[in-house]
Amino acid sequence: MSHQVVGSRFLGVVACVSLLAACSPQSSTAANAGTPAPAPAATAVPAVPLARGLPDFASLVEQVGPAVVNVAVVERARAQRGDDDDSPFGANDPFGDFFRRFGIPGNVPRDNTPVRGEGSGFIVSPDGYILTNAHVVANASKVTVKLTDRREFEAKVIGSDERSDVAVIKIDGKNLPTVRIGDPSKLRAGEWVIAIGSPFGFENSVTAGVVSGIARDLPGGDRTNYVPFIQTDVAVNPGNSGGPLFNMYGEVVGINSQIYSNTGAYQGLSFAIPIDVANNVREQLIRTGKVSRGRIGVTIQEVNALLAENFGLDRARGAAVSAVESGGPADKAGIKPQDVILSVNGKLIEHSNQVPAIVAAIKPGDKAEIDVWRDRAVKHLTVTVEELKENATVARAGAAGGGADAIDRIGLSVRVLTSAEKQQLHTSGTVIVVDSDGPAAEAGIRSGDVILAANRVRVESVEDLRNAVKGSKHTASLLVQRDSQQQIVAIRID
């Protein structure tokens, strides 16, 4: 059906790659005979092509194409829908503009006329189970599947999962052509991939490109942070949704799901759901009709170079814990704010967006073995994973004003909250930022932030904050609460 659009603004990123030629070592002379000879120059990169010509996709398409299907949908009539009602994220969702379902302008009627749409899918079992996107079959009253040999089947929606945007549908058939499943963890940036689908209703269209990124984290909160998206430059458009992404071995490695665009059409960035994530969803939907995910009750963020230096890590890696749910699984296991998660069940964590997907795939009730970095050492902890539930609404915190004390070393003016203000802000913190300047402002600290800790020391007073940063040499880290969310902020001290 229509494809989701990632982003209402264009973000241009240009990657420049340069080859450094090695210089020949200089000759020694009588004048410098007594000085050490220069170190040997690095070996030059051989001047041979890394790839000879472009691959021929025709044989691959002939092999895998019959298992790719067109999915035609008739949606249930919805009276008097607003402009944003067509979004799978809802009319009032703050990410409604960021993630919009693809569609031809003006194709949403204002009366009770049923809406028709098209998408793609692929057959994963000879008896007719098909994977597609959840947004393709959302609100469907009738789903028709068309094969490449022109046979048509009415399909039943077995189940769909909004968080991953994966749906399973079923047709009655025997000995149907099926795809082969690949391993998306082996994908590398620059690797050739192809997409087959029905863009704008043009069935069985083939486009090719390369993997341009892996494990991408996209905005959208709980609706996207359990999917480490595959980023490609394969052209996908409205109607490609739910179609397969193939590697050069003819294996499905992803489901084309979203694009980044400010026009509603392809602009060079497309995103696919890794097939292992989709298969986990498929198996659960077929077996139980719903998807169960694990959770450990932490809020995490990326570790940048400044945080890594402050924490004493060898380099930027892992997931920094900015908040721990009181009484949650992580809290019971001893995980603390400002810990850095380095691995989960033996899987090394390079980026924070790996953690939600890994934990979500763990069966609730099972144990998760987690290595964390704390006080410049690795600690091994065991967490009993709980089932993920829908998030409760969280009150928003407001900024406070009043007289302040200066922490000149990092450029902060702060004051102590009253008991009434703490209740109003729903915070356990005591010190609030009145103004920021210099290093703190450059790091993003702003008025209204509540400082919970500094350099892993709990802050209960202005004096606690001053003492905690007094001994900082080059960096300081603050655990702050902003709008009911906690985050770790690293400050460079000049």
Q: Tokens representing 360?
A: 């979500």
Could you say which of 2, 86, 87, 135 is catalytic? Answer: 135
Chain length of the chain: 494
Helices (H) then strands (E): counts for the chain:
9, 30
Q: Which residues of 464-489 are buried (b: 16+ CB within 10 A; e: fewer)?
A: bbbebbeebeebbbbbbbbeeebbbb
Is there a catalytic annotation at residue 135?
yes
Residue type for position 329: P
Could you say which of 2, 241, 270, 352 is catalytic? Answer: 241
Return the closest-CA partner of residue 342 out of 321, 363, 324, 323: 321
Could you say which of 3, 86, 160, 165 is catalytic? Answer: 165
Q: Which residues of 411-424 are buried (b: 16+ CB within 10 A; e: fewer)?
A: bbbbbbbeeebbee
**Residue spans of alpha helices (H) in 48-100:** 58-64
Residues sharing a CB contact under 8 Å with residue 202, sequence separation 6 or more, in sequence order: 239
Return the closest-CA partner of residue 167 out of 266, 60, 285, 72: 285
**In angstroms, rounded to a whole number, what is the distance separating the alpha carbons of residues 6 and 258?**
6
DSSP 220: S
**In angstroms, rounded to a whole number, what is the distance separating the alpha carbons of residues 257 and 356?**
19
Residue type for position 317: R
Q: Tokens representing 68?
A: 């790719």
**In angstroms, rounded to a whole number, what is the distance separating the alpha carbons of residues 227 and 134?**
14
Is there a catalytic annotation at residue 241?
yes
Q: Are strands 4-6 and 251-260 parallel, antiparallel or unpaired?
A: parallel
Q: Compute how many other C-beta atoms are within 10 angstroms of the C-beta atom of residue 13.
A: 7
Q: Known catalytic residues?
A: 135, 165, 241
